[in-house]
A and B are shown apart, each in its own frame.
Chain A
Amino acid sequence: DAGVIQSPRHEVTEMGQEVTLRCKLISGHNSLFWYRQTMMRGLELLIYFNNNVPIDDSGMPEDRFSAKMPNASFSTLKIQPSEPRDSAVYFCASSQGLAGGSGELFFGEGSRLTVL
Protein backbone atom coordinates (compact mmCIF):
# COMPACT_ATOMS: atom_id res chain seq x y z
CA ASP A 1 0.00 0.00 0.00
CA ALA A 2 1.37 3.42 -0.93
CA GLY A 3 2.22 5.75 1.90
CA VAL A 4 1.38 9.43 2.22
CA ILE A 5 2.43 11.12 -1.01
CA GLN A 6 3.50 14.74 -1.08
CA SER A 7 4.36 16.98 -3.99
CA PRO A 8 6.45 18.76 -4.92
CA ARG A 9 9.44 17.39 -2.98
CA HIS A 10 11.35 20.61 -3.54
CA GLU A 11 10.10 24.06 -4.43
CA VAL A 12 12.14 27.21 -4.93
CA THR A 13 10.19 30.37 -5.52
CA GLU A 14 10.49 34.11 -5.20
CA MET A 15 8.95 36.24 -2.52
CA GLY A 16 5.38 37.19 -3.37
CA GLN A 17 4.64 34.11 -5.44
CA GLU A 18 1.85 31.67 -4.64
CA VAL A 19 2.90 28.23 -3.44
CA THR A 20 0.67 25.15 -3.40
CA LEU A 21 1.73 21.99 -1.64
CA ARG A 22 -0.19 18.78 -2.19
CA CYS A 23 -0.83 15.67 -0.15
CA LYS A 24 -2.50 12.35 -0.86
CA LEU A 25 -3.60 10.42 2.23
CA ILE A 26 -3.31 6.72 2.79
CA SER A 27 -6.49 4.99 1.68
CA GLY A 28 -8.86 4.49 4.62
CA HIS A 29 -7.34 7.20 6.78
CA ASN A 30 -9.70 9.92 7.94
CA SER A 31 -7.41 12.39 9.72
CA LEU A 32 -4.96 14.70 8.00
CA PHE A 33 -2.31 16.88 9.60
CA TRP A 34 -0.05 19.57 8.12
CA TYR A 35 3.22 20.25 9.96
CA ARG A 36 6.06 22.69 9.35
CA GLN A 37 9.64 21.94 10.40
CA THR A 38 12.46 24.45 10.74
CA MET A 39 15.72 24.45 12.64
CA MET A 40 14.62 27.42 14.73
CA ARG A 41 11.10 26.38 15.67
CA GLY A 42 11.24 22.60 15.31
CA LEU A 43 8.07 20.73 14.35
CA GLU A 44 4.89 22.82 14.38
CA LEU A 45 1.33 21.62 13.76
CA LEU A 46 -0.35 24.03 11.37
CA ILE A 47 -3.79 22.50 10.93
CA TYR A 48 -5.59 19.19 11.08
CA PHE A 49 -8.72 17.76 9.50
CA ASN A 50 -10.99 14.95 10.53
CA ASN A 51 -13.34 13.50 7.91
CA ASN A 52 -12.50 16.42 5.59
CA VAL A 53 -13.50 19.02 8.19
CA PRO A 54 -10.87 21.41 9.62
CA ILE A 55 -10.82 20.82 13.37
CA ASP A 56 -8.00 23.02 14.60
CA ASP A 57 -6.23 25.68 12.55
CA SER A 58 -4.75 27.57 15.48
CA GLY A 59 -1.24 26.80 14.24
CA MET A 60 -1.71 28.48 10.87
CA PRO A 61 0.68 31.44 11.04
CA GLU A 62 -1.48 34.03 9.35
CA ASP A 63 -4.03 34.66 6.64
CA ARG A 64 -1.46 34.04 3.94
CA PHE A 65 -1.79 30.34 4.72
CA SER A 66 -4.83 28.29 3.79
CA ALA A 67 -5.54 24.56 3.66
CA LYS A 68 -8.29 22.56 2.06
CA MET A 69 -9.50 18.98 1.77
CA PRO A 70 -11.65 18.86 -1.35
CA ASN A 71 -12.16 15.13 -0.88
CA ALA A 72 -11.34 12.33 1.54
CA SER A 73 -7.99 11.48 0.00
CA PHE A 74 -6.41 14.78 -0.97
CA SER A 75 -5.35 18.04 0.65
CA THR A 76 -3.60 21.25 -0.35
CA LEU A 77 -1.70 23.84 1.64
CA LYS A 78 -1.45 27.20 -0.05
CA ILE A 79 0.74 30.17 0.79
CA GLN A 80 -0.12 33.43 -0.92
CA PRO A 81 1.91 35.57 -1.03
CA SER A 82 4.99 33.65 0.08
CA GLU A 83 7.76 35.24 2.18
CA PRO A 84 11.34 34.16 2.91
CA ARG A 85 10.39 33.29 6.50
CA ASP A 86 8.05 30.61 5.11
CA SER A 87 11.09 28.59 4.02
CA ALA A 88 10.79 25.22 5.75
CA VAL A 89 10.00 21.57 5.22
CA TYR A 90 6.25 21.01 5.18
CA PHE A 91 5.00 17.57 6.16
CA CYS A 92 1.65 16.02 5.65
CA ALA A 93 0.61 13.12 7.89
CA SER A 94 -2.46 10.94 8.03
CA SER A 95 -4.00 8.53 10.49
CA GLN A 96 -7.09 6.47 11.10
CA GLY A 97 -7.94 8.85 13.91
CA LEU A 98 -5.84 9.36 17.01
CA ALA A 99 -8.62 9.70 19.56
CA GLY A 100 -8.63 6.00 20.23
CA GLY A 101 -5.06 6.24 21.48
CA SER A 102 -3.18 4.43 18.72
CA GLY A 103 -0.99 7.48 18.19
CA GLU A 104 0.38 6.37 14.87
CA LEU A 105 0.77 9.12 12.36
CA PHE A 106 2.04 8.25 8.89
CA PHE A 107 4.18 11.02 7.49
CA GLY A 108 4.99 11.86 3.92
CA GLU A 109 8.56 12.61 2.88
CA GLY A 110 7.96 16.34 3.05
CA SER A 111 8.05 19.31 0.69
CA ARG A 112 11.12 21.49 1.10
CA LEU A 113 10.17 25.08 0.34
CA THR A 114 12.70 27.83 -0.27
CA VAL A 115 11.42 31.36 -0.73
CA LEU A 116 14.07 33.74 -2.07
Chain B
Amino acid sequence: GDSVTQMEGPVTLSEEAFLTINCTYTATGYPSLFWYVQYPGEGLQLLLKATKADDKGSNKGFEATYRKETTSFHLEKGSVQVSDSAVYFCALLNFGNEKLTFGTGTRLTIIP
Protein backbone atom coordinates (compact mmCIF):
# COMPACT_ATOMS: atom_id res chain seq x y z
CA GLY B 1 0.00 0.00 0.00
CA ASP B 2 0.88 3.67 -0.13
CA SER B 3 3.13 5.05 2.59
CA VAL B 4 5.06 8.20 3.49
CA THR B 5 8.23 8.32 5.57
CA GLN B 6 9.41 11.56 7.14
CA MET B 7 12.59 12.36 9.00
CA GLU B 8 12.36 11.92 12.73
CA GLY B 9 11.92 15.04 14.79
CA PRO B 10 12.01 17.17 16.65
CA VAL B 11 14.15 19.59 14.68
CA THR B 12 15.49 22.71 16.37
CA LEU B 13 17.16 25.48 14.38
CA SER B 14 18.27 29.03 14.94
CA GLU B 15 16.49 31.85 13.16
CA GLU B 16 17.73 32.41 9.57
CA ALA B 17 19.11 28.86 9.32
CA PHE B 18 18.52 26.68 6.26
CA LEU B 19 15.83 24.05 6.67
CA THR B 20 15.44 20.63 5.09
CA ILE B 21 12.81 18.11 6.17
CA ASN B 22 13.13 14.84 4.31
CA CYS B 23 10.16 12.95 2.91
CA THR B 24 10.12 9.78 0.84
CA TYR B 25 7.16 7.83 -0.38
CA THR B 26 6.05 4.43 -1.63
CA ALA B 27 3.10 4.33 -3.99
CA THR B 28 1.79 2.66 -7.10
CA GLY B 29 1.14 4.89 -10.06
CA TYR B 30 1.77 8.61 -10.06
CA PRO B 31 0.60 10.23 -6.84
CA SER B 32 0.27 13.90 -6.04
CA LEU B 33 2.45 15.04 -3.14
CA PHE B 34 1.73 17.58 -0.43
CA TRP B 35 3.13 19.34 2.59
CA TYR B 36 0.72 20.32 5.31
CA VAL B 37 1.61 22.49 8.31
CA GLN B 38 0.05 22.51 11.77
CA TYR B 39 0.67 25.60 13.89
CA PRO B 40 0.25 25.29 17.68
CA GLY B 41 -3.36 24.87 18.70
CA GLU B 42 -4.63 24.69 15.13
CA GLY B 43 -5.66 22.14 12.53
CA LEU B 44 -3.52 21.21 9.56
CA GLN B 45 -3.46 23.46 6.51
CA LEU B 46 -2.07 22.92 3.05
CA LEU B 47 1.36 24.50 2.62
CA LEU B 48 2.26 23.41 -0.92
CA LYS B 49 1.77 20.63 -3.43
CA ALA B 50 3.12 19.08 -6.62
CA THR B 51 1.09 16.92 -8.92
CA LYS B 52 3.67 15.40 -11.28
CA ALA B 53 7.33 14.53 -11.52
CA ASP B 54 9.77 17.47 -11.51
CA ASP B 55 7.05 19.91 -10.39
CA LYS B 56 8.12 22.33 -7.68
CA GLY B 57 5.59 23.47 -5.12
CA SER B 58 6.25 26.70 -3.26
CA ASN B 59 4.58 28.91 -0.68
CA LYS B 60 5.67 31.28 2.12
CA GLY B 61 9.33 30.77 1.17
CA PHE B 62 9.07 26.99 1.39
CA GLU B 63 9.80 24.78 -1.62
CA ALA B 64 9.62 21.08 -2.44
CA THR B 65 10.40 19.29 -5.71
CA TYR B 66 8.70 16.07 -6.78
CA ARG B 67 11.55 13.65 -7.53
CA LYS B 68 10.20 10.47 -9.08
CA GLU B 69 13.61 8.86 -9.48
CA THR B 70 14.29 9.07 -5.74
CA THR B 71 10.61 8.95 -4.66
CA SER B 72 11.21 12.04 -2.56
CA PHE B 73 9.57 15.37 -1.80
CA HIS B 74 11.90 17.14 0.62
CA LEU B 75 10.77 20.43 2.15
CA GLU B 76 13.26 23.32 2.14
CA LYS B 77 13.42 26.92 3.23
CA GLY B 78 16.44 29.17 2.89
CA SER B 79 15.99 31.25 6.04
CA VAL B 80 13.58 30.15 8.75
CA GLN B 81 11.76 32.44 11.15
CA VAL B 82 10.42 31.90 14.65
CA SER B 83 6.90 31.96 13.15
CA ASP B 84 7.76 28.80 11.15
CA SER B 85 7.72 26.76 14.35
CA ALA B 86 5.08 24.11 13.71
CA VAL B 87 4.57 20.45 12.85
CA TYR B 88 5.05 19.61 9.17
CA PHE B 89 3.32 16.65 7.51
CA CYS B 90 4.21 15.13 4.17
CA ALA B 91 1.31 13.43 2.37
CA LEU B 92 0.40 11.73 -0.88
CA LEU B 93 -2.77 11.14 -2.84
CA ASN B 94 -3.05 8.57 -5.57
CA PHE B 95 -5.31 9.63 -8.42
CA GLY B 96 -8.81 8.29 -7.97
CA ASN B 97 -8.37 7.85 -4.23
CA GLU B 98 -10.33 9.79 -1.70
CA LYS B 99 -7.88 9.51 1.21
CA LEU B 100 -4.63 11.30 1.83
CA THR B 101 -1.78 9.20 3.23
CA PHE B 102 0.07 11.27 5.83
CA GLY B 103 3.54 10.88 7.27
CA THR B 104 4.06 10.97 11.02
CA GLY B 105 4.88 14.67 11.13
CA THR B 106 8.09 16.52 12.00
CA ARG B 107 8.05 19.07 14.80
CA LEU B 108 10.14 22.14 13.98
CA THR B 109 11.19 24.68 16.59
CA ILE B 110 13.00 27.88 15.62
CA ILE B 111 14.84 29.73 18.35
CA PRO B 112 15.63 33.46 18.11
Contacts and interface: CB of A to CB of B under 8 A. Distances in A.
Interface of A: 4, 31, 33, 42-43, 45, 48, 50, 55-56, 91, 93, 97-99, 101, 103-110
B99 interface: yes
A91 B43 contact: yes
A103 B44 contact: no
Interface residues of B, number: 23
Contacts of B45: 106-107
Interface of B: 32, 34, 36, 41-46, 49, 51, 89, 91, 93, 95-100, 102, 104-105
A98 B99 contact: yes
A43 B96 CA distance: 22
B95 A109 contact: no
A55 to B, nearest CB: 6
B44 A98 contact: no
Interface of A (DSSP majority class): strand
A65 to B, nearest CB: 18
A3 B104 CA distance: 25
